[in-house]
Amino acid sequence: MKSWTVRKGKPEDVPGVMQLVRELAEYERAPHEVTNTETAMLLDGFGEVPAFGLFVAEMNQEIIGIALHYARYSTWKGKMLYLEDIVVKEHLRGKGIGAELFEACLRHCVDMNYAGMTWQVLDWNEPALNFYRKYAANLDSEWINGKLLLAEIQKMDLT
């Protein structure tokens, strides 16, 4: 019998969410990359114009898992849901919590009439790759990720 519930995230969940974000950064060997704050996440997710949606898994009033998502637009497909992160506390992985969070995002995708859902996964993260393979997900190795951080952009002459 499961001992957790999955629900939409609320502002008071943000401290627990940030704890899981930091845990994910440790797992992905990049804790120094986390510059987001609880204050920013609260405003960005629950302010006047939310930038993301959130599902949380909760057990005994503790956030034990998250699925953070937002809308994106594909010129080829139209409206898509982007799953930014799905995280479950390490000691609780393998119990179906991640699957329930993932499926909450899939249902949201259907409810919002999106053309599909996309996400990224690190090529060395075999547990995550195997998780997505259970859903017969298309794991595309052809695309290379690009990014520029604000500090890098600010150094450019954009006049």
List of residues 6+ apart from 28 with CB closer than 8 A: 122, 125
Q: Is 82 a catalytic residue?
A: no
Give me the phi and psi of 54, to 5 degrees please: -150, 135
State how far the Cα of 26 lies from the Cα of 130, in Å rounded to an integer: 20
Q: In sequence order, what are the beta bridge partners of 70?
A: 82
**Integer angstrom CA distances of residue 32 from 35, 87, 121, 154:** 8, 18, 19, 20
Q: Which of 70, 82, 132, 135 is catalytic?
A: 132
- Residues with catalytic function: 132
